[in-house]
Amino acid sequence: MRFGRDEGADYTLTIRMSRRISRILLVKPSALGDVCRSMPALASLRAAFPQAEIDWFVQDDFADAVCAHPALHAVVPFPRRAWRRWWTPDAVRGVLGLRRQIREASYDLVLDLQGLLRSAIFAQAATGARRVAWRDAREGSGWLANERHARRGGPDATEVMLALLEDAGVPAVRDPRMHVPETAREAWRARRDASGVDRYVALAPTSRWSAKRWPAERWKTLAERLVSRGMRIVMLGAGSERDQVRACMPKEGVVDLCGALSLGAWLAAIEGADAVVANDSAATHAAVGLGRPLVAIYGATDPSAVGPFGQPECVVAPPGPAPTDPHGYRDPRMVQRMRLIGVDAVERRLHEEIQRGPRW
């Protein structure tokens, strides 16, 4: 993958500010896969403003996905789960306190890459900043910004974010690289050694939405084939996904780490894998950011819109046109498309990706 700016483009900054930009807030709190997909936005801001302090407003659960990036100055954690009951006194005090923190930080530029009312409420707290958002941002949230641009650059979701930056005068740098905290690497090494694992393929067979899941029996068959070829398998998933993972596991040759890792250690496990196989999920986008050989299994969603950034060759999908409804994955009947993907196709793609090797 080639990083950097496209040749032949005019990269003179057109930032329309009357003062020097020294503090920037990138607002992209969730979901985890979308946070992973947003690394090119951070790289773009750093390239445009090499001396600025860049902070990232992110859900506190996902801080390990961004905090070690060398372009980042600080994380502004958003405790979304703790404030789920937003009408309670504690939550109201917390929201007001976080808005005050953002206001007092004196940001010069704020980019709302989430485009929801909750993200806009916090972006708007930077009252003295240039606050950039999409004109058609959901829930009417764009009206809380003081600079709005038409949404363009699709269908790829990362390209849409980069187009917003370009319209704000920030040249796009298509660098998706992620960085794992060293403490998380150490935690993973300790866990890996205790499990007796050296080289391994990571399987991430889970998804919140059933329509995005490749059938469990296909995962199990794939794992059995890999084990029969002498490969070690590490199964990844959240604690809430334990039943999903266990349904995909063969009887031997597999290390089950479902629910056993922190987010940072989970990222380190992906970073250390010989290859990653995943559904349309955060694991796919983390594997891209960490440069791992990847097989991404897509059926209920359009890989041209939400697939692995810059790596369409990694996708295994059913024949025929991809779904056009961006919310079609919520329809359980879409799982029938996942059933059209055979084990042979996934295994073949996996061996090709292993032969290709890491991206970096």
- The reported pLDDT for the residue numbered 17 is 45
- Tokens 């990138």: give the residue: 26
Locate 152 and state its tokens: 């363009």
The burial class, CB within 10 Å (0-12 / 13-18 / 19+), for 229 is exposed
Beta bridge partners of 109: 24, 130
- Count of Cβ atoms closer than 10 Å to residue 183 Cβ: 14
Q: Are residues 161 and 205 in the same domain?
A: no
Ranges under pLDDT 70 in the chain: 1-19
Q: Are residues 187 and 55 in the same domain?
A: no
Residue 177 resides in a domain: no
Q: Are residues 207 and 96 in the same domain?
A: no
Of the candidates 175, 168, 21, 183, the one whose C-alpha atom is nearest the C-alpha of residue 107 is 21
Q: What would the pLDDT profile of 275-327 be if each residue is shown by its tens digit? A: 999 999 999 999 999 999 999 999 999 999 999 999 999 999 999 999 989 88
Q: Are residues 258 and 330 in the same domain?
A: yes
CATH number for the domain that contains residue 59: 3.40.50.2000
Q: In which element (H, E) is residue 342 found?
A: none
Give backbone dihedrals phi and psi of 132, rounded to 5 degrees, phi first.
Answer: -105, 135
Residue 12 resides in a domain: no
- The reported pLDDT for the residue numbered 209 is 93
Q: How many domains does the chain have?
A: 2
- The reported pLDDT for the residue numbered 20 is 86
Q: Are residues 157 and 274 in the same domain?
A: no
Q: Are residues 209 and 318 in the same domain?
A: yes
Of the candidates 125, 120, 85, the one whose C-alpha atom is nearest the C-alpha of residue 107 is 125
Q: In which element (H, E) is residue 51 found?
A: none
Q: Are residues 241 and 133 in the same domain?
A: no
Q: Are residues 161 and 189 in the same domain?
A: no
Residue 176 resides in a domain: no
Q: Are residues 192 and 336 in the same domain?
A: yes
- The reported pLDDT for the residue numbered 5 is 52
Residue 285 resides in a domain: yes
Residue 237 resides in a domain: yes
| Domain end position, chosen among 136, 167, 198 | 167
| Domain end position, chosen among 115, 135, 167 | 167
Q: Residues 164, 171: contact at Cβ < 8 Å?
A: no
Of the candidates 78, 98, 96, the one whose C-alpha atom is nearest the C-alpha of residue 28 is 78
Residue type (1 letter), 349:
R
Locate 267 and state its tokens: 């990222």
- The reported pLDDT for the residue numbered 251 is 87
Q: Residues 38, 285: contact at Cβ < 8 Å?
A: no
- Count of Cβ atoms closer than 10 Å to residue 319 Cβ: 6
Residue 13 resides in a domain: no
The burial class, CB within 10 Å (0-12 / 13-18 / 19+), for 86 is exposed
Locate 254 and state its tokens: 């597999």
Domain around 314: 182-356
Q: Are residues 260 and 338 in the same domain?
A: yes
CA R_g for the chain: 21
Locate 77 and state its tokens: 């954690």
Q: Are residues 243 and 132 in the same domain?
A: no
Locate 250 and state its tokens: 């063969």
CA distances from 223 to 59, 205, 315, 348 (A): 33, 11, 18, 13
Give backbone dihedrals phi and psi of 75, rounded to 5 degrees, phi first.
Answer: -100, 135
Residue 7 resides in a domain: no
Q: Are residues 130 and 186 in the same domain?
A: no
| Domain end position, chosen among 167, 200, 225 | 167
